Amino acid sequence: MNVKLLDLERQYRKIKNEVMSEIKSVCDSQHYVLGSNVKALEEEIAAYCGAKYAVGVASGTDAILLALMAAGVGPGDKVVTTPYTFFSTAGSIALLGAKPVFVDIEPDTFNIDPDELGRLLKRSSKGVKAVIPVHLYGQCAEMDTIRSLAHNHSLSVIEDAAQSIGARYKKRGAGALGDFGCFSFYPTKNLGCFGDGGMVTTNNRQRAEKLRMLRGHGSRRRYYYDIVGTNSRLDEVQAAVLRVKLKYLDEWAEGRRRNAGKYTELFSKSGLGDAVTVPEIRKENLSVYNQYVVLVKKRDRLRKYLAEKGVGSEIYYPMSLHQQKCFKELGYKTGDFPVSESVAKKTLALPIYPELKAGELRYVVSTIADFYSK
């Protein structure tokens, strides 16, 4: 049996006719940039997340970059975030000449530890302009505490919700829990387009207006530039694809949750004990399981074995950001964030996409059980 980590072809087969007809309409219109599909998608995503405004941009990375710019972050400022995330969370901070300041994660959710954040800000919040909690793998960070700490220290809250569209925290949608919500439509995301794309959500009209200016070189009126922005537009073809997919997003997230439940049941029956720890979802959270990440013993050997047996897996992420070469100048050292460093050696993402069949889930778990029985 061959079980890929993600098989997008299965999804594509189901929606191909619908998507192709929408793409044809865009081509027939010959209107490719910032047209009716982008406008409609912005309204639909805002409503979906429970935010007032949404601004389409070129990628999830740009969503974070533009949100930071709209929050007024610039050279010399500090922005607090987690070292256990995809690179662009911290990369965007550094690109603006600001300094990423890391806070360790919780060992069960892998999200930023709010107590550690509180301790850091108590020690010193000088120069800190914003905090970026990342809703990793599909589960929101502990937003009540983060928001109240941010409020007390006058920080902007920029949610990195790239992996978590549709996730809920205390029944409220990811992207509507802070000052800005940043989404990625990279193909492997739950709502993925046919290339790159992203979106920023906000409840504030002025911020939305600033984001719209920033994505179009800082202009409100053609060829007149009030601030310095960039070209970061979402195009019509991507927006048309996303509008079709958005209609299925809840159903797909439900399928991911069903598969996660099945894995938990299979692992608990497999007698693997503490060799495999399944993901922990807090009761206030509804996860959309962009990734299903287990903590395992002998991770690298297991991964190799799974590959030999036709099971795809991935390591998100093998090295914490404070240990990356490009951030050497920040002065962190190994041992500074023990939880991040420890989970980086144990995490393994398993196939979770909604179209997986029951037999495939059973095969993944029985192959893992075989490995540990040897």
Ligand X SMILES: Cc1ncc(COP(=O)(O)O)c(C=O)c1O
Q: Which residues bind ligand X (CB under 6 A)?
A: 59-61, 85-86, 88-89, 134, 160, 162-163, 184, 186, 196, 198
| Strand runs labelled E in 114-171 | 128-132, 156-160, 168-169
Place of tokens 């903590």: 295
Q: Is 223 helix (H, G, I), strand (E, B) or coil?
A: coil
CB atoms within 10 A of CB 187: 13
190/275 Cα distance (integer angstroms): 28
Cα-Cα-Cα-Cα torsion 93, 97, 103, 107, nearest 10 degrees, comes to 40
Measured at the alpha carbon of residue 218, what is the angle toward residues 212 and 223, in degrees to the nearest 5? 115
> Do strands 172-173 and 292-296 pair parallel, antiparallel, or not at all (unpaired)?
unpaired
80/82 Cα distance (integer angstroms): 7
* Nearest residue relative to ligand X (C-beta): 60
Q: Is the sign of the CA dihedral 319, 322, 328, 334 positive or negative?
A: negative
105/86 Cα distance (integer angstroms): 14
Nearer CB in complex with ligand X: 67/275: 67
291/312 Cα distance (integer angstroms): 13
Beta bridge partners of 350: 292
Write down the least CB distance from residue 164 to ligand X, Å: 8
Write down the least CB distance from residue 186 to ligand X, Å: 4
Which residues, in sequence order, are CB contacts of 172 under 8 Å at separation 6+?
A: 50
Both tokens of 31, joined, read 């209107």
| Strand runs labelled E in 2-66 | 53-57
Write down the least CB distance from residue 309 to ligand X, Å: 27
Nearer CB in complex with ligand X: 88/139: 88
Both tokens of 312, joined, read 């795809």
